[in-house]
């Protein structure tokens, strides 16, 4: 759910912000209303308390959070200022932070959409246009006002666009910055554990960190993420559904019934290649001597995913190798009919299993191979997902 801070400033068009708030909620956004003191001269906070996702905020101080502007700024996926007065535009341009709204604008890395509304004479002032040009040059989105009826019976340029246009512009900005918005993504993470007896298991060194990073970045990019995991790690914020499994068979049983409904499947989990043929239902005692463990291969259901892949779905596999990385990864990509495969040399101490960094090659079905230098697993996740977004585009 995208989080939108809706800033309302002190202009007569503040009443239209009520409809903007309602429509953003209807579009599936979490809306945090922030009003300037002057805005409350035109519209009350009670209306936004009722319609917003949380109560409206006005004060920089005396809030439940010790630092409300940083809380709002860090959590926001988008900040919309509607209406934006000449005064607020000037303060934002020059870095003035003398109220909660302007402080939030300076405390965010989220995109900002401002919707100016003022009398024609103010709109045409060179200082206002210079400020808007400066903001545009910094990447701020500006929705120019309409021409029409203004306050006090005047007519001219400066009328706040209708709420439908504002919300459409806001959703367009969100789509640009959240390119997976509306996409369904399934990510597997961690190493499976295959029982030998009621106590012991066959497993591997996978920590699940790379899979979790992919799930988190996909959620940040707007996707509806299902995480199928074998590890007990804190679930990243924004994950829509979590399915906990242990064995390769359990992971298969969790993934296959929902696979066709996914737009993207990233099989980052290290699924066991072998399991015990006859695991015991009790602990094997030491005094009984070393047990004889007969292994059988697990079913490689990634092959099934490739064979049954719906049109338009992107399927990604991982290849953890200790030798011939490119050759082995490319072979898996072709055999399993994948769109991408991420190969990494797990024999290196600073990459692969258990550590926070990775050094990988991303190979596509189109034949491209992108070598990524040592970087965080979150950075790897971003590179992979941007490659996937490019494929959709």
Among 177, 211, 245, identify where a domain stops: 177
- Picking from 58, 55, 46, 54, the residue whose alpha carbon sits closest to that of residue 9 is 58
- Over its C-alpha atoms, the chain yields an Rg (Å, rounded) of 27
By residue range, what is the domain housing residue 27?
3-177
pLDDT value at residue 282: 87
Q: Are 101 and 56 members of one domain?
A: yes
The H or E element spanning position 68 is: helix 68-75
| CATH code of the domain containing 354 | 3.40.50.10300
> What is the C-alpha to C-alpha distance for residues 299 and 249, in angstroms, rounded to an integer?
8
> What is the C-alpha to C-alpha distance for residues 175 and 288, in angstroms, rounded to an integer?
63
Among 148, 177, 206, identify where a domain stops: 177
Q: Which of 87, 131, 177, 204 is catalytic?
A: 204
Q: Are 133 and 200 members of one domain?
A: no
- Picking from 207, 193, 211, 182, the residue whose alpha carbon sits closest to that of residue 316 is 211
Q: Are 346 and 209 members of one domain?
A: yes
345 contacts 325 by C-beta, under 8 angstroms: yes
Q: Are 154 and 191 members of one domain?
A: no
| CATH code of the domain containing 79 | 3.40.50.1950
Q: Are 216 and 297 members of one domain?
A: yes
pLDDT value at residue 63: 66
Residues with pLDDT less than 70, the chain: 62-64, 66
Q: Are 113 and 222 members of one domain?
A: no
Q: Is 204 a catalytic residue?
A: yes
pLDDT value at residue 263: 97
3-state secondary structure string, 186-227? EEEECECCEECCCCCEECCCCCCHHHHHHHHHHHHCCCEEEE
Among 151, 177, 203, identify where a domain stops: 177
Query: For the chain, how many structural domains are there in total?
Result: 2
Q: Are 94 and 223 members of one domain?
A: no
Q: Are 375 and 271 members of one domain?
A: yes
Q: Are 17 and 81 members of one domain?
A: yes
Q: Are 24 and 171 members of one domain?
A: yes
Q: Are 206 and 100 members of one domain?
A: no
- Picking from 121, 120, 142, the residue whose alpha carbon sits closest to that of residue 131 is 142
314 torsion bin: left (phi>0), alpha (psi -120 to 50), beta (else): beta
Burial class (CB in 10 A: 0-12, 13-18, 19+), 366: exposed
Q: Are 203 and 321 members of one domain?
A: yes
Look up tokens 């950075």; give the residue: 379
Please state whether the predicted TM-score (pTM) of the whole model is above 0.75: no
**SS3 for 315?**
strand
């Amino acid at each position: 759910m995208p989080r939108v801070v809706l800033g309302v400033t002190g202009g007569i068009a503040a009443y239209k912000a009520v409809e903007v708030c309602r429509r953003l909620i209807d579009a599936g956004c979490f809306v945090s209303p922030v009003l300037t003191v002057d805005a409350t001269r035109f519209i009350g906070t009670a209306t936004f308390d009722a319609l917003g996702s949380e109560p409206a905020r006005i004060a920089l101080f005396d809030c439940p959070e010790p630092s409300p502007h940083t809380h709002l700024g860090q959590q926001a996926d988008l900040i919309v200022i509607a209406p934006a007065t000449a005064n607020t535009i000037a303060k934002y341009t020059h870095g003035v932070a003398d109220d909660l709204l302007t402080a939030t604008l300076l405390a965010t890395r989220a995109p900002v959409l401002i919707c100016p509304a003022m009398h024609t004479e103010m709109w045409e002032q060179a200082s206002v246009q210079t400020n808007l040009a400066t903001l545009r040059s910094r990447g701020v989105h500006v929705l120019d006002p309409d021409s029409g009826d203004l306050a006090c019976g005047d007519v001219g340029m400066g009328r706040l666009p209708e709420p439908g246009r504002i919300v459409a512009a806001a959703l367009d900005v969100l789509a640009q910055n959240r390119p997976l918005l509306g996409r369904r993504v399934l990510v597997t993470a961690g190493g499976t554990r295959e029982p030998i007896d009621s106590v012991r298991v066959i497993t591997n060194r996978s920590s699940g960190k790379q899979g979790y990073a992919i799930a988190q970045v996909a959620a940040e990019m707007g996707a509806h993420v299902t995480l199928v995991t074998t590890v007990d790690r804190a679930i990243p914020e924004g994950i829509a559904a979590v399915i906990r499994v242990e064995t390769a068979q359990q992971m298969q049983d969790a993934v296959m019934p929902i696979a066709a409904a996914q737009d993207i499947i990233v099989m980052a989990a290290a699924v066991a290649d072998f399991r015990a043929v006859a695991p015991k239902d009790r602990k094997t005692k030491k005094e009984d001597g070393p047990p004889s463990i007969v292994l059988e291969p697990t079913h490689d259901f990634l092959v099934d995913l490739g064979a049954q892949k719906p049109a338009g779905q992107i399927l990604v596999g991982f290849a953890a190798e200790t030798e011939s990385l490119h050759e082995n990864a490319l072979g898996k990509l072709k055999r399993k009919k994948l769109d991408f495969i991420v190969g990494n040399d797990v024999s290196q101490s600073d990459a692969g299993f258990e550590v926070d960094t990775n050094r990988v090659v991303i190979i596509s079905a189109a034949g491209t191979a992108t070598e990524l230098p040592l970087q965080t697993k979150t950075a790897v996740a971003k590179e992979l997902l941007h490659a996937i977004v490019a494929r959709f585009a």
